[in-house]
Structure 1
Amino acid sequence: MPSETAAKPKGLPGAEIAKAAELVNYQDGAVVSREIIKKPTGNVTIFAFDEGEGLSEHTAPFDALVHVLEGEADIRIAGRQHRLQGGEMILIPAQQPHSLKALQRFKMMLTMIRS
């Protein structure tokens, strides 16, 4: 018997218009993500963070471009605080320690290019 709730497809259908902020929904007390493009050369992931949620400090081997779609977040890069709001973006350089925290519910698109 098929499920009553259809799972969202993992990727983004080609040649179709989509609103990035609508590709992932908020969930109380959680961080939700949806990978929309995954290639050997890089990936694009949409995240939804509930207020107060975040990602603890970590590093990545590649540059990461964070584009805040809506809401507000505190993004720390190498100990320096950056407060971003919907429509703003920041580049997190490879190997730099960074963390994120939702000051209010926020959604972001993360683009990583492997090179």
Structure 2
Amino acid sequence: MQKTSFTENLDFNDNKVVIKVLLETSFSKEIRILLKSGQLMKEHKAPFPIIVHIVQGEIDFGVEGIHHTLKQGDIITLAANVPHDLLAKSDSIVRLTLSKQDAAERVEKVVADS
């Protein structure tokens, strides 16, 4: 058993999106993404399906050029290789579930390139 919190020990950064792997299981990686209002993760793709859950806040989630407002409590799935981007409309905590086969370093590169 593993236990962690998506809402404790928050370290928002005014200059960049903050990501942290909170759990790694035999089948997934659970990543916390902290976005200050106005911060952007530029368009990118994931090589495996993902799940995105808005724990707190509100984001503009672009999927293939169509933007969707996601607010606290919303959860979506996205198939592999679908272009998407995230823009924080308010300070936000996002839970990203990756396949065990995906790499957290890939997400770190998306943040570095945004």
TM category (shorter chain) comes to: 0.7 to 0.9
Distance in 1, Cα, partners of 2:87 & 2:20: 18
Q: Which runs of 5+ in 1 are unaligned?
A: 1-13
Distance in 2, Cα, partners of 1:56 & 1:38: 25
- Equivalent of 1:35, from 21, 29, 45? 21
Letter in 1 for 2:85: S
The aligned runs of 1:1-115 (5 Å cut-off) are 14-16=1-3, 18-38=4-24, 41-114=27-100
Which structure has the higher relative contact order (CA within 8 Å, separation 6+)? 2
Provide the TM-score with structure 1 as the length reference.
0.77
Q: What's the CA shift for 1:23?
A: 4.5
Letter in 2 for 1:53: Q
Q: What's the CA shift for 1:104?
A: 1.0
Distance in 1, Cα, partners of 2:27 & 2:93: 24
Q: What's the CA shift for 1:95?
A: 0.6
Provide the TM-score with structure 2 as the length reference.
0.78
CA RMSD of aligned residues (A): 1.9
Larger radius of gyration: 1
SS in 2 for 1:81: strand
Aligned residues: 101
Q: Give 1 or 2: higher helix fraction.
A: 2
